[in-house]
């Protein structure tokens, strides 16, 4: 770890330390959302609602592939940050090498299992007759490229874990820029449609993975991709999967939630599915800004958990205030221009109306979803495996029965509002577990203050 990163971990004022770790991550995640939005925008210019529907239907698949990257990446990354706080540098090399090769192996396994089952997967995603062919094209490309997509999400977490926030941001922005350029080329020059958009996503992830791999192999003094450091000891497996498995389950549940929502919304036509797809992408921008803030401070929280718990408490307090300010600002903007935002993607009046309504409702839970992300990050950083596991399942467990009840009672409106209800329940459960963790750490914090 270089002296600058160590300074921000140990001595910099809290506001500067949080800014150092969080702002690059916020910029990087927001750029990722921008290219997700642009994927929909480029397809929307072709005037084919079935293509937009296919893009919405494949969100659960992408979430599942991302979940595998986070399984290794977040589990390994938080472990690395704690090891840095304990100055166990050789163990850092073992964990980073383990993460690199495990991610590639997982990706090859996904490809080997998924390609023979391509038709059942597309049916399972809820593809309509009109959107089936487009959905199958996207799924096929994503399965072939899954090793690179999984590797990207893993390495982004690993590089961030050593405090290299700027490098992490550069890699994420590199992925976005490559994706945007390729989107324009494959749609307007080669006319590849959905298959082109999927290919652009895979290639951009490959380029960014190569960038992160180069950093780990040639620039970092602590991280490595060398096979000679690969080690899958019981200690590494335990610490990685204790946090990684809950993250995987949470990401899987998010994909399952999208899948359930798509099935319920399909009863109200392709406009409802496409409207949710557009609104969810627009919602991702502020959500990922908040997620970038919360994920950005995880290495700082993990480091200070083993090195300086009073500094950890101050970091969490400042982050909560930041979430409140950002959520309020984004909420005001969306309520003022929601129709115009949806109108960027389509000129279908019914689609604009449905998308705008979904956007209004889901934005109500922006602050509590930001707080939920912070709770989850704290549990990951402090190795609270049980709490992280509960957070990983609570939203999905809540949403599924709420969907059935709310849709039966209030149709389309009930389906949309079920998202807010699930977010609220997850927030309350997370707040309760944070109260327990705070009481557990309180004696040590009082001792430090004295």
Please list, residue by residue across 300-309, b when 16 or more beta carbons sit within 10 angstroms of its beta carbon and e when fewer do.
bbbbbbbbbb
Q: What is the pTM of this model?
A: 0.73
Asked if 255 and 60 touch (Cβ cutoff 8 Å), the reply is: yes
Distance CA 294, CA 298 (A): 7
pLDDT of residue 449: 46
Distance CA 355, CA 138 (A): 23
Asked if 156 and 212 touch (Cβ cutoff 8 Å), the reply is: yes
- 23: tokens are 């702002």
Q: How many CA atoms lie within 13 A of 40 on its CB side?
A: 30
pLDDT of residue 445: 52
Q: Is residue 126 helix, strand or coil?
A: coil
Asked if 341 and 334 touch (Cβ cutoff 8 Å), the reply is: yes
Asked if 244 and 74 touch (Cβ cutoff 8 Å), the reply is: yes
Asked if 35 and 176 touch (Cβ cutoff 8 Å), the reply is: yes
The per-residue pLDDT string of the chain (450 residues; one tens digit each, 9 = 90 and over) reads 566 667 788 888 899 888 888 887 787 667 666 766 777 777 777 777 788 778 777 877 887 888 888 889 888 988 898 888 888 888 999 999 999 999 999 999 999 999 999 999 988 887 777 788 888 998 999 999 999 999 999 998 899 888 888 898 899 889 888 988 998 898 888 888 889 888 998 999 999 999 999 999 898 888 999 989 998 888 899 888 887 887 787 767 666 676 777 778 777 777 777 777 777 777 777 887 888 888 888 888 888 887 788 888 889 999 999 999 998 888 888 878 777 777 777 777 777 777 888 888 878 888 888 898 899 888 888 878 788 778 877 877 787 788 888 888 888 888 888 888 888 888 999 899 988 888 777 665 555 444
- 251: tokens are 């990401």
Contacts of residue 436, Cβ cutoff 8 Å, sequence gap at least 6? none
Cα distances (Å, whole numbers) of residue 80 to 55, 236, 249, 344: 35, 10, 21, 42
- 4: tokens are 């600058």
Burial of 192 (0-12, 13-18, 19+ CB in 10 A): middle
| DSSP structure string for 315-373 | HHHHHHHHHHHHHHHHHHHHHHHHHHHHHTT---HHHHHHHHHHHHHHHTTHHHHHHHH
In terms of residues, how long is the chain?
A: 450
How many CB atoms sit inside 10 A of residue 266's CB? 17
Distance CA 355, CA 347 (A): 12
How many CB atoms sit inside 10 A of residue 166's CB? 15
């Amino acid at each position: 770890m270089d002296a600058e990163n160590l300074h921000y971990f140990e001595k910099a004022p809290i506001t500067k330390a949080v800014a150092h770790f969080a702002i690059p991550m916020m910029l990087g995640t927001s750029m990722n959302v921008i290219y997700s939005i642009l994927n929909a925008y480029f397809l929307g210019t072709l005037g084919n609602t079935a293509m937009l529907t296919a893009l919405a239907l494949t969100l659960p698949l992408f979430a599942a592939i991302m979940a595998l990257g986070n399984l290794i990446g977040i589990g390994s990354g938080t472990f690395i940050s704690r090891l840095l706080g304990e100055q166990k540098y050789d163990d850092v090399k073992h964990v980073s090498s383990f993460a690199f090769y495990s991610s590639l192996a997982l990706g090859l396994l996904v490809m080997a299992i998924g390609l023979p089952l391509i038709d059942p997967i597309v049916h399972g995603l809820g593809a309509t007759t009109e959107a089936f062919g487009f959905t199958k094209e996207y799924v096929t490309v994503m399965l072939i490229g899954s090793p690179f997509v999984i590797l990207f999400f893993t390495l982004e977490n690993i590089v961030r874990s050593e405090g290299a926030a700027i490098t992490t941001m550069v890699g994420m922005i590199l992925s976005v820029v490559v994706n945007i350029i390729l989107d324009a080329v494959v749609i307007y020059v080669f006319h590849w449609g959905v298959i082109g958009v999927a290919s652009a996503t895979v290639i951009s992830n490959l380029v960014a993975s190569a960038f992160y791999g180069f950093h780990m192999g040639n620039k970092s003094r602590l991280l490595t991709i060398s096979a000679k450091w690969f080690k899958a000891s019981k200690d590494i497996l335990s610490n990685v999967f204790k946090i990684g498995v809950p993250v995987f389950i949470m990401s899987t549940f998010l994909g399952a939630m999208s899948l359930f929502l798509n099935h319920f919304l399909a009863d109200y036509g392709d406009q409802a599915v496409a409207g949710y797809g557009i609104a969810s992408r627009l919602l991702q921008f502020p959500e990922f800004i908040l997620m970038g803030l919360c994920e950005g401070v995880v290495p700082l929280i993990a480091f200070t958990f083993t090195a300086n718990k009073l500094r950890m408490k101050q970091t969490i307090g400042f982050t909560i205030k930041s979430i409140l300010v950002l959520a309020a600002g984004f909420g005001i903007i969306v309520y003022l221009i929601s129709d115009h935002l949806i109108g960027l993607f389509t000129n279908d009046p019914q689609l604009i109306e449905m998308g705008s309504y979904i956007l209004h409702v889901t934005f109500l839970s922006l602050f509590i979803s930001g707080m939920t992300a912070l709770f989850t990050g704290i549990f990951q950083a402090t190795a609270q495996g049980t709490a992280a596991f509960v957070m990983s399942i609570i939203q999905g467990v809540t949403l599924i029965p709420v969907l059935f009840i709310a849709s039966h009672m209030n149709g389309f409106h009930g389906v949309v509002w079920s998202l807010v209800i699930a977010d609220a329940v997850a927030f309350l459960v997370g707040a309760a577990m944070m109260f327990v963790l705070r009481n557990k750490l309180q004696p040590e914090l009082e001792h430090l203050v004295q």
